[in-house]
Structure 1
């Protein structure tokens, strides 16, 4: 089964004060590092962005939000609409330490579920999760109903919640790092500390 990795790069980065996807980490931009990891997971990579000129240097296919200003759910809708494959992995552009093994596992869950979403220490992570293309109708309905919380849309589909014990079985005990995302300068600095570790 062919797969697509969809990078959501549509946020405002207002707390960071600059485009966080283009910050440098380990000698390359954050989004470059994410794309390199995703090459090991998916057959195709797609970027969802409303500023495509920012990402032309990646030479990857891009698409824009149809529902402008409606947050990450709109990014998921745009990505699933543009995807050529039934199995898709959604990744936010500010998660520099994603796990290839976990990405592969989440995609494998789509054989039996419409989505696979990690829940670590009681917190859902729908922006590092796998979705079948056929959930797009439910996403669109949520957007049209102005129900923009991803958690709300997940209630309407058949979803597997992936918990800490699965990460331990995959040999990924330090779950904090795989879901770490950078929203401000302090978290960007923390990323350098995590990188050294």
Structure 2
């Protein structure tokens, strides 16, 4: 059994509601993409695939200058305008290993402690979804049969895939950070306040 894990981090969208690239916003002294990649690499995963799309060359050059390591691979999704699932398919299809930890640049507060908790709950047979107050969040971790389903062309969203395998989902209690999305300027300002010790 392949017990290695590929991280897949999606950062391909146009960030239209934000008005600028989420990945290149600053969180304290680091860029969002920098902080997230650091946190993923601080967890025991075997590689990290970052999917870029809109302004992909710019983002790739930033990532490569910050992380000159073979453990981080950058994949371009030319079809990013088709939506998030196209980036999921591209990232999952490019992953070296069968087990996938899938995260989003929209969740900038994810840290290695949260990732480790998700990894600890993984038995290589179930989907692990972190949740706070019964609300599911990211990143999610899944085994080979979900990877195969995503690549099968039968589905159009990740929710459809998970709905087909409801009996295979394990929810684990996680902190509020797993549910914090950053889609708008207001969201970004809230996150900055939170990092300064405020509440969400």
Q: For the superposition of Structure 1 and Structure 2, which TM-score range results when normalised by the shorter chain? A: 0.7 to 0.9
Alignment of 1:1-197 (within 5 A): 1-41=3-43, 42-50=45-53, 51-53=55-57, 54-59=59-64, 60-65=72-77, 68-125=80-137, 127-141=138-152, 144-145=153-154, 147-148=156-157, 150-157=158-165, 159-164=168-173, 167=174, 175-197=175-197
1:117: how far off?
1.3
Pairwise CA RMSD: 2.2
Higher mean C-alpha displacement, 60-69 vs 5-14: 60-69
Q: Distance in 1 between matches of 2:19 and 2:89?
A: 26
Partners of 1:9 and 1:48 within 8 A in 2: yes
Give the TM-score taking structure 1 as reference length. 0.81
| Residue 40 of structure 1: how far off its partner (Å) | 1.1
| Structure 1 unmatched ranges of 5 or more | 168-174
**Moved segments of 4+, more than 4 Å:** none
For residues 191 and 34 of structure 1, the distance between their equivalents in structure 2, rounded to whole angstroms, comes to: 14
**Structure-2 separation of matches of 1:189 and 1:115:** 32
| TM-score (norm. length: structure 2) | 0.80
Q: How many residues align?
A: 184
Alpha carbons of structure 1 residues 100 and 48: separation in structure 2 relative to 1, 3 Å: same
Does the 8 A contact of 1:49 with 1:65 survive in 2? yes
